Amino acid sequence: MSAETTQSDLSTSTNANQGMEFSTDAYLDMDLLRFLTCGSVDDGKSTLIGRLLYDSKSIFEDQLEAAESASLSRGDERMNLALLTDGLRAEREQGITIDVAYRYFATPKRKFIIADCPGHVQYTRNMVTGASTANLALILIDARHGVIEQSRRHSFITSLLRIPHLVVCVNKMDLVDWSQETYEKIRTDFEEFAARFEINDITFIPMSALTGDNVVNRSDKMDWYQGPSLLHHLENVHIAGDRDMIDPRFPVQWVIRPQSDEHHDYRGYGGQVASGVFQKGDEIVALPSGMTSKIKSIDIGGSEIGFASPPQSVSIQLEDDIDISRGDMICRPNNQPNSGQNIDAMVVWMADQPMVVGKKYTIRHTSNEARCVVKDLRYRMDIETLHRIEDATDLKLNEIGRVSFRMTKPLFFDPYRQCRATGSFIIVDEQTNNTVGAAMIIGETSS
C-alpha cells in the first residue's frame, strides 16, 4: 500500500473547522505546540500530515493544484500527497524526504508547528535537529508490521532529546480489519522496550490516515478504543507543565545601552529566559563574576512588564552598575547552575568527518562560546541494538556516544534532563565553521 491518496479521499473527510465561528479573541488566546513526525514514506506519514493540514484548511487550493499537476506530469495515477511536503527538487525527483521540513497548521485551540523528519538511519542527524525543539513526537507504526527496528530508534532519539510527550500512531488499521488484538499486541511490545527509556507520557492511538479514522474524528470502526482522536489529543495534551518555572536562568545575549541623553542611565541586559521566573525586586547573582544586585525593572522594547518566564525575550535592568556582558548568566544567589570545565555529554555526530579524540573544537552553549578538547569517547551507542560499544575509537556521521570534554573556561550548565536550554551545546569545526555535533550534558566528568 503506498502513501498516496486521492484528493477525493481527503475531500470526503469531515472538515475540522466546519461550523467553527471565527473568533479573534479565541485566536489570540491560542498556545503553541511544536511536534515532530518521524517515519518514511511507507509508514503513511505524508498521508497523515496531508490529512491534518487538509482537514484544518492549511493546504490552499493553488498548492493542491500545483501538487496535482506535478503528479500528472510525473505520470502518477493519483495525487501524490508527498509532493506537498517534499520541497526540494532532489526530493521530488528521488521520491524521498532528505531534510526536515517545517509545516504549520492551527485549530481554534492551538497553533502547531510540525517538524517533518525523514525516518531512515542515514538521516538521524536531521531527526535530532527536528527533535531539539519539539514538545511532542509522533511515531508511526504500520499495524501490519508491528514494532520494528526503526520504531526503536525513533523512540530512543525521542528519549535522548527529552521530548516530553510521545504519541504512538498505530497506523493502517484498515489493513488489519481494525483488529483490537493486533493493536494490543503492538502496544504491549512497544511498552516493553520503551520501559528502558525515560519517556513519561506515552499515548497510543489506533488509526488509518488513509481513511481518516481517529485522525481528526473518532472512528466508528473501533468500538473497543475509548481514547481520543489524534487531533483531539494534540489540541488537549497538557504542555504548560513542560517548562521549568522553578530554577531561574537568564543567559545574557546583548547589552542594550542607548547613546542618547534621554536614556543615558539605561543599561539593559537582553536575553531569553532559559528557565524559571524573574520579577522586579528579585535578588540576583551574575556569573561568573559572582556580583549580586536586585532587578530594577524588566521590559520588552522599553515597555515594562511585571515578570518574565521562559521562553520570553526581555531586557533586565539591575539596581547596581555591575560588569555583565554577553555569555554571562543571571540567576538567583540560592539557586545556581553547575559550573565546570570537565563535562560529560551524549553527543550526536553530524558531519562526514568523524569526531576525533584529542581534537579541539569550538562550542556554543547558551549565549556563550568556548573552545574544548575531546578527552575521551566513553562509549558509542549502537542505535539498532542500544548496546554500548566500549572500545569505539571515533564517532562517525549519525553516530551517538558519551563523550568527555575539557573546556577552556567553566560553563554554567544544568544537566540536559533538567533543562534543555542550559544543558545543550553545539560543536563547531574550527576549519570548516560547520556545526558538526549536538551535545546533551550529563554532568561533570567523574574520574
Partner 1 sequence: MTQTAESNAHYKLTHLKALEAEAIHIMREVAAQFEKPALMFSGGKDSIVMVHLAKKAFRPAKFPFPLLHIDTGHNFPEALDFRDKLVSDLGERLIVHKVQDLIDKGIASEDPGPYPSRNRAQIPTLLDAIETYRFDALFGGARRDEEKARAKERIFSFRDDFGQWDPKNQRPELWNLYNGRHQMGENIRVFPISNWTEMDVWQYIMLENIEIPALYFSHERDVVTRMGQLVPVGDAPFGAREGEEPVRRTVRFRTVGDMSCTAATDSPAATLEDIVAEVAAARASERGARMDDKTNEAAMEDRKKEGYF
Return the range that interacts with partner 1 (CB under 8 A); candidates 129-137, 204-212, 220-228, 396-404: 129-137
Kindly state whether residue 336 participates in binding partner 1, applying the rule CB under 8 A.
no
Kindly state whether residue 446 participates in binding partner 1, applying the rule CB under 8 A.
no
Residues 397-416 that bind partner 1 (CB under 8 A): none
Of residues 163 and 205, the one with the C-beta less far from partner 1: 163
Options 8, 28, 75, 323; binder of partner 1; rule CB under 8 A: 28
Q: How far is the CB of 51 from partner 1 (least distance, A)?
A: 17
Query: Across the strands, what pairs with 36?
Result: 115, 137
Of residues 106 and 175, the one with the C-beta less far from partner 1: 106
Kindly state whether residue 426 participates in binding partner 1, applying the rule CB under 8 A.
yes
Kindly state whether residue 362 participates in binding partner 1, applying the rule CB under 8 A.
yes
Kindly state whether residue 102 participates in binding partner 1, applying the rule CB under 8 A.
yes
Of residues 176 and 436, the one with the C-beta less far from partner 1: 436
Closest by Cα among 9, 37, 218 to 118: 37
Options 1, 12, 14, 60; binder of partner 1; rule CB under 8 A: 60
Residues 268-307 that bind partner 1 (CB under 8 A): 270-272, 277, 300-302, 307
x/- track of binding to partner 1 for residues 219-258 (CB under 8 A):
-------------------x-xx-xxxx------xx-xxx
Cell of 223: 468500538
Q: How far is the CB of 360 from partner 1 (least distance, A)?
A: 15
- Between CA 112 and CA 110 the distance in angstroms is 6
Q: Which residues of 203-220 are buried (b: 16+ CB within 10 A; e: fewer)?
A: bbbbbbbbbbbbbbbebe
Of residues 197 and 266, the one with the C-beta less far from partner 1: 266
Kindly state whether residue 72 participates in binding partner 1, applying the rule CB under 8 A.
no
The count of C-alpha atoms lying within 13 angstroms of the C-alpha of 307, restricted to the half-sphere facing its C-beta, is 10
Got the DSSP string for 317-348?
EESS-----TT-EEEBTTB--EEEEEEEEEEE
User: Which residue type sits at 358?
Assistant: G
- Between CA 211 and CA 86 the distance in angstroms is 22
- Between CA 303 and CA 354 the distance in angstroms is 48
Of residues 98 and 175, the one with the C-beta less far from partner 1: 98
Got the DSSP string for 366-412?
TTEEEEEEEEEEEEEE-TTT--EETT---B-TT-EEEEEEEEEEEEE
Going along 211-267, which residue ranges are E strands?
249-251, 254-256
Distances (CA, A) of 1 to 50, 94, 170, 174, 176: 16, 19, 15, 11, 13
Of residues 49 and 383, the one with the C-beta less far from partner 1: 49
Cell of 293: 544586585
Inter-residue contact 116 to 16 (CB < 8 Å)? no
Q: How far is the CB of 101 from partner 1 (least distance, A)?
A: 5
Kindly state whether residue 385 participates in binding partner 1, applying the rule CB under 8 A.
no
Residues 308-327 that bind partner 1 (CB under 8 A): 309, 311-313, 326
Options 46, 80, 404, 424; binder of partner 1; rule CB under 8 A: 424
The count of chain residues that interact with partner 1, using the rule CB under 8 A, is 85
